Amino acid sequence: MSMRSVFALALLLAAVPASAEPPRGSITIERIADIKYPTNPAWSPDGKKIAFLWDAAGKQDLFVVTPGSQPVALTDFPVDPDLLQSDLGAFAWISSDEILFGRSGQLWRVNAASGKPARMPGALGDAGSFSLSPDRQTIAFIRRGNIWVGNVAAGTERQVTNLPEGLGSGVPVFSMDGRWLAFVANRGGLEPEDLPWNGPMIRSMENVSRERRLGVIAAQGGEVYWIPTVGAVSSPQFAADRSLVYYELSPDGKTKDIKLMKRDVLPRLLWRDHDDRWVSPTNRDVKLLVSPDGKQIGFVSDRSGWIQVYAMPLDATSEAQAVQLTSGNFGTGLGSWSPDSKRIAYHHSAAGNQMERFVDVVDVTTKQGQAVVTTRGVNLDPLFSPDGQSLVIQRTDPQNSLDLYVAPVRAGAALTRLSDSMPAGLNRNEIVVPEPVSFPSRLDKAPVPGTIMVPRNLDKSRKHPAIVWIHGSGSDQNFLGWHPGSYRMYYSASVYLAQQGYVVITPDYRGSSGYSREWSTGVHMGLGIKDAADVLASADYLKTLPYIDPDRIAVWGLSYGGYLTLQTMTQDPTLFRAGINVAGVVDWATYGAGYTTPRLGTPVENPGIYHDSAPIYFMEKLARPLLILHGTNDRNVQFRDSLRLWDQLLKLGKPFEMGVYPGEIHFFRRAHILRDAWRRAEEFFDRYLKNGAAVTSSR
């Protein structure tokens, strides 16, 4: 079969409606596809309102809410007729009544009371990628790869940088007095890849970065001062004395420094974390925050074995001057500084409970903590109000997807809900609540944490089908409630499948975040081997349950979860009845070095490890039905991974099913894509787990 035929078949399959049994309750595929997602809450300068972005399956708009009232939409832009989506960029309050925001490269403003957005007139109309000065009077924005500044009120502008050709700046940050700008510049972009098995007609594009620089320049213009760096730089911020603080991660991912630079002086090391495996804190838990007075930094470190919160004066001359503010066998994540620079709000798990999060506030001088949000659930990213008396948090629980809440800063505070993202008609009382479980790994008998959803009123005198859901990213985790990030859609799918009679188990294999440093880095030099043993053990555990049919267990996952689906289906080919790979990696040698080098070294150093960790080389062992789903606009796991997998399966004569989603991103976001993917997944599972011929599983 030619590659052109493969594409025709894939597109045909993606358009065929899937059939499955009718939903057993109010939780339907149509409804879970309509769950909204709020992000980026920001207090108004007077502390009376909160603005945020609210995504409705690809249609994103700006909202404002006053605690105690309903959110009000400030924008209502139509979706692109081709992509069926509409996105907004950065936004910022320029007063207690007005907000600037970016859309499609354009700069807009809207009054929070009238809700009538208008594009900025004149020269600033294309300043959609911007940052705002501390006094809210000046913006810095990107135009054709260079930094410009503009006066918000007057609409005047001036070019600040004239970077070498091919070098493009990211959005800069202002110094506290607004007179200096810091930025990271990059040389690279999208370049075509050579795929010899694919032919020349359809090309795959690779995002290449050849050079990254950290620069500082006066807001009035002049020469750029380039700061010498070795690794990847992130989180640049100015201190009160105009010195610059930033993270620098070594190319091998084993060392992460906090550095401080004063102009014409070499950068000075403030703090260094090193791990012979890799520095594990990632994602939302990792922040570097300069205090509002510009004299201290807050950060996290897993030096103690768990991620904990630290504070440090910026004039420190030794790491010993850093203060560890939290301790214990639990993880933390930095939230925000109080406006008076005396307290830090943070979220944390609890000893013995790594699948929920709570919010505390700690005094950086006395180290005295206050438990503010103790309500069970996943409470994240506390942000102080301008007067320091309240926190806005992001929260999920078993009955609610991610929403925004506000709480006063006092012990055991009650929560006031700001948004409700669940669709009308969905009865929360029907939602299956996950329970924590653990089971011994096939690798070393170490306890593997996980969750299990058992359908309500399940007749445990009978045998039932089960599904193993594998979270992605490697360094992510499951929660006792809705996932607060990009895997929220798949948690929704698990809720739906549980309503349909499936038992769903979700393992937190080694490498998952939210646990000890030992567990979070435990997959070092063994991607797809050590963690796959943990996933296989989840199926072993299911088989010990008297109400599970051991011959009717399936597996699926997205991204790293799709990768582990392929690994487990080839390592123990008859354990699972069927599997679904959604946008999974097939060969780490073709994935980004920033992720793979810390975990596996390089393909030059360790070719054998790269080979053994790549499912593409073991697909001849595939023995059970496989469905592959992928979006063509995936910039995380390239679409070419699935193309290569399809090509290999065809050459091996292996049957498989596939679905291609034109223009879709890695995590599947748009409603029409979600509905088709979930219908296709349900029909696939029903066919092999409920209605298929009896097939014996490996024991």
pLDDT over 80 at 577, yes or no: yes
Structure confidence at residue 3 (pLDDT): 37
- φ/ψ (deg, to 5) at 516: -65, 160
pLDDT over 90 at 182, yes or no: yes
The arithmetic mean of pLDDT across residues 51-66, rounded, is 97
- The residues that bridge with 296 in the sheet, in sequence order, are 313
Structure confidence at residue 436 (pLDDT): 98
- Which of these ranges, 189-198, 378-387, 497-506, 520-529, has the smallest mean pLDDT? 189-198
To which H or E segment does residue 181 belong?
strand 180-192
Closest CA to 516 of 288, 254, 345, 275: 275
Structure confidence at residue 17 (pLDDT): 44
Q: How many CA atoms lie within 13 A of 562 on its CB side?
A: 25
Structure confidence at residue 24 (pLDDT): 84
286 token code pair: 């990792």
- Residue ranges, comma separated, of all CATH 3.40.50.1820 domains in the chain are 3-31+425-690
From the candidate CATH numbers 3.40.50.720, 2.120.10.30, 3.40.50.300, 2.40.40.20, the one assigned to the domain spanning 284-421: 2.120.10.30
The arithmetic mean of pLDDT across residues 295-302, rounded, is 97
pLDDT over 70 at 79, yes or no: yes
Query: Beta strand pairing status for 232-238 and 244-249?
Result: antiparallel
Place of tokens 């900025």: 120
**Could you tell me if 110 and 116 are in contact, meaning their C-beta atoms sit under 8 angstroms apart?**
yes
**Could you tell me if 158 and 143 are in contact, meaning their C-beta atoms sit under 8 angstroms apart?**
no
- The residues that bridge with 440 in the sheet, in sequence order, are 447
The arithmetic mean of pLDDT across residues 4-22, rounded, is 47
To which H or E segment does residue 680 belong?
helix 671-685
- Residue ranges, comma separated, of all CATH 2.120.10.30 domains in the chain are 284-421
The arithmetic mean of pLDDT across residues 13-27, rounded, is 64
- The residues that bridge with 394 in the sheet, in sequence order, are 380, 404
Residue 618 backbone class (left: φ over 0; alpha: ψ -120 to 50; beta: rest): alpha
Structure confidence at residue 148 (pLDDT): 98
Give the pTM.
0.95
**Could you tell me if 187 and 211 are in contact, meaning their C-beta atoms sit under 8 angstroms apart?**
yes
Encode pLDDT of 646-676 as tens digits: 999 999 999 999 999 999 999 999 999 999 9
From the candidate CATH numbers 3.10.20.740, 3.40.50.1820, 1.10.10.10, 3.40.50.11750, the one assigned to the domain spanning 3-31+425-690: 3.40.50.1820
215 token code pair: 């620069």
Cβ atoms within 10 Å, residue 598: 21
Encode pLDDT of 337-372 as tens digits: 999 999 999 999 999 999 999 999 999 999 999 999
Contacts of 268 (CB under 8 A, 6+ apart): 259, 260, 261, 262
pLDDT over 50 at 27, yes or no: yes
To which H or E segment does residue 561 belong?
helix 560-571
The arithmetic mean of pLDDT across residues 511-532, rounded, is 97
d(CA 450, CA 438) in angstroms, rounded, equals 6
The b-or-e profile of 546-566 (16+ CB within 10 A means b, else e) is: eebbbbbbbbbbbbbbbbbbb
**Could you tell me if 400 and 480 are in contact, meaning their C-beta atoms sit under 8 angstroms apart?**
no
State whether residue 214 is helix, strand or coil: strand
d(CA 321, CA 73) in angstroms, rounded, equals 47
Q: How many CA atoms lie within 13 A of 444 on its CB side?
A: 9
Encode pLDDT of 393-409 as tens digits: 999 999 999 999 999 99
**Could you tell me if 666 and 485 are in contact, meaning their C-beta atoms sit under 8 angstroms apart?**
no
Q: What is the dihedral of CA 613, 616, 622, 626, to 10 degrees?
A: 110
Confidence of residue 19 (pLDDT cuts 50, 70, 90): low
Encode pLDDT of 623-650 as tens digits: 999 999 999 999 999 999 999 999 999 9
**Total count of residues recorded for the chain:** 699
Query: Beta strand pairing status for 464-470 and 548-558?
Result: parallel
State whether residue 71 is helix, strand or coil: coil
Cα torsion 548, 551, 554, 560: sign = positive
Confidence of residue 20 (pLDDT cuts 50, 70, 90): low
